[in-house]
Amino acid sequence: MVSIDGALLDFKQLERLAAGDSVLHRLDPRAKVLATLAFIVSVVSYGRYELSALIPFFIFPAVLIGAADLPAGYLLKKIALVCPFALLVGIGNPVFDRAVLMQLGPLEISGGWISLASIVVRAALTVSAALILVALTGFPAICRALERLGMPAPFAVQLLFLYRYIFVLTEEGTRASSARELRSCGKKGRGMASYASLLGHLLLRTWQRAERIHMAMLARGFSGVFHSRTKWHFGPAELFYLVGWSALFLALRLCNGSELVGALVTGVFR
């Protein structure tokens, strides 16, 4: 029960961060969505052996975290949760790709280790960009921005419903877990055998709760469109934000920033 409550509160923390009042928070969500999309496309477009070229892309999340005064520790914990999954994806690379691509003194580094590190770095970059986007904008605003950018309205509404019903599922799970612990009488009824029944009841309760919510929305005149009182304006600030970051991503994609800095440093201290 404690873990479910903690997960719910932790998930809502991103929405609380989106209520900030920094310059980045006040930007039109469409500019932030497009800039994040350009960042993700640039990062994932690299080859599997590209590693040093990805390092300069950490400028984007670092600048946004500092400018919007976001909690870096909280976001780093969320990113760290994804890294084991990235490791799992590429864990077989060092076994099957043993060709030596780099030598650091007596240490030989194969292509498998480089590709594994590249997968982890790209996962950290893309996940950090997505988390920062939600922390700066909020998921409902992102869905409305995607709809205005051309996403079919039914798909945007389905995404928003999915996001809202996550909280419904979590709340019902908290109640079911609490009832199970209160009736367990020590360890009785807390084994694996009780999980099937618990999940079945959770599904039925969540389904019924969702139907009640939907009926309440229809009774209040819901017609498939979520209306917002927030007025958006794509002005010079949004254009500067989008063009500036996109130009930087393009420059980093065309030129290896790490190699340029390394050549400059070695040239100065030669």
Integer Cα distance of 223 and 33 in angstroms: 26
H helix intervals, 149-192: 153-182
Location of structure tokens 């609490």: 178
Q: Give pLDDT, residue 8.
A: 52
Query: What amino acid occupies position 223?
Result: S
Q: Which amino acid is at 170?
A: T
* Distance of alpha carbon 242 from alpha carbon 251, whole angstroms: 14
**CA distance to 42, 182, 190, 228, per residue, from 179 (Å):** 48, 5, 11, 38
Q: In the prediction, which pLDDT does 239 show?
A: 92
pLDDT computed for residue 132 by the predictor: 92
Q: At what angle do helices 153-182 and 139-148 cross, to 10 degrees?
A: 160
Per-residue pLDDT of the chain (270 residues; tens, 9 = 90+): 445 455 555 667 777 888 888 888 889 899 999 999 999 999 998 888 888 888 889 999 999 999 988 888 888 888 888 888 888 888 888 778 777 777 777 777 787 888 888 889 999 999 999 999 988 988 888 888 888 888 888 888 888 877 777 777 777 777 777 777 776 665 655 556 666 677 777 777 777 777 887 788 888 877 766 666 667 788 899 899 999 999 999 998 888 766 666 565 555 545
Judge if pTM exceeds 0.75.
Answer: yes
pLDDT, residue 1, reads 44
Q: 110-143 as b/e, with b when 16 or more CB fall inside 10 Å?
A: bbbbbbbbbbbbbbbbbbbbbbbbbbbbbbbbbb
User: 109 - beta bridge partners?
Assistant: 102
